[in-house]
Copies of this chain bind each other. A is one copy, B any other.
Amino acid sequence: MACKAQTVLFKEYVEEGPVPPENFVLKEIDLPALKDGEVLLEVQYLSVDPYMRGRMRNSAGYFVGPFVPGEPVGGGGVVKVAETRAPGIEKGSFYSGMVPWTSPQIATKAQLEQMQPVDTEILKLAKLPISGYAGLFGLTGMTAYSSITRIGQPKKGETVFISGAAGAVGMIVGQMCKNIYGCKIVGSAGSDDKVEFLTKELGFDAAWNYKSMPTLQALNKFCPEGIDIYYDNVGGEHLEAALECARPHARIVCCGMISQYNKKGDERYGVKNLANVVFRKIKMEGFLLFQFLPDIVPEFFEHFPKWIAEGKIKDTEYVVKGGLANTGQAFCDMMAGKNKGKAVVKCVDKDPIMGN
């Protein structure tokens, strides 16, 4: 039987500056009837993440390809199989992965099988809502886990500086470095509220508001011994300060440079001390989660649920309500730093695991 669906369309490319909420256009569409081999999926949660800004420019697709104007926006999310005409796919089961911002939506069995089946038992063990698969158990958790284990390689007693530490990935990296590897962790964030959250709730050894304390001054104050790992979510002045305080053989994990994404060429921050990469034998490395997939997945699911159950990694979700109609605004708010932790948009009335 055919049915109605809601979708969020990408209006147009925005090369510079913030993307306005009006660039996300909510529309009602008709879905055709389900065919053999297809499933009908209901979106449960959608993830909004900084990397998506890159897809809103019409530039060469070195990262993930750009969005197409007039077509649905897409990103990480958790879906439920509402109807199935695909043998072997169970009605009521959940999957996480990359999905268009359309609900309900039709997918083929092959498309669904590219997603990760949600293990609801693991969620119950870790006391996480099903949105956990859009955050801690999804792209965010795997991004943090793979980059810090493969590039950062923290050793006990080392000092780790994380910029954007109250962001989705930063929080997990910090907790891993502190509670799993025994490092000293310091971090920057964009509000006093976030700074308090980092030190009081997440056990950061020090944190500061970069809007009121320059990064270099903060690093000199809190890490007079220098830093061994810089986990970069911000770029620009933060990166320059980290290079200034880097110890020999420091590793810089280039996860994001959000301070630079909205700027055009000339306005970007010029980093002047890259000669330190030579002098101090520094390794700087960018990555994309997909380069570590699928190898990282079993290892990740072996460790991560246990760490959460043991309280070593806290759930740091920032749930935005309002469903599909609110995803555009939620993206804009996340880019403006309004979230504390992983921003996800709730698209169901009640979480199927937690019942709230």
Contacts and interface: CB of A to CB of B under 8 A. Distances in A.
A280 B286 contact: yes
Per DSSP, chain A at the interface is: mixed
A287 interface: yes
B281 A272 contact: no
Contact of A288 (B271, B274, B275, B281): B281
B248 A62 contact: yes
A336 interface: no
Interface stretch (A17-25, A168-176, A250-258): A250-258
Given A62-B248, A248-B62, A281 B274 contact: no
A278 B265 contact: no
A17 to B, nearest CB: 15
Contacts of A257: 274-275, 277-278
Interface string A46-69: 000000001000000011000000
Given A260-B275, A278-B257, A285 B284 contact: yes
Copies, count: 2
A282 B280 contact: no
Contacts of A282: 254, 285-286
A261 interface: yes
A277 B252 CA distance: 11
Nearest to A288: B281
A231 to B, nearest CB: 12
A269 interface: yes
A258 to B, nearest CB: 9
Given A283-B284, A284-B284, A255 B278 contact: yes
A260 B276 CA distance: 10
A279 B54 contact: yes
B281 A287 contact: yes
Interface of A: 54, 62-63, 235, 239, 248-249, 254-257, 260-261, 265-266, 268-288, 291
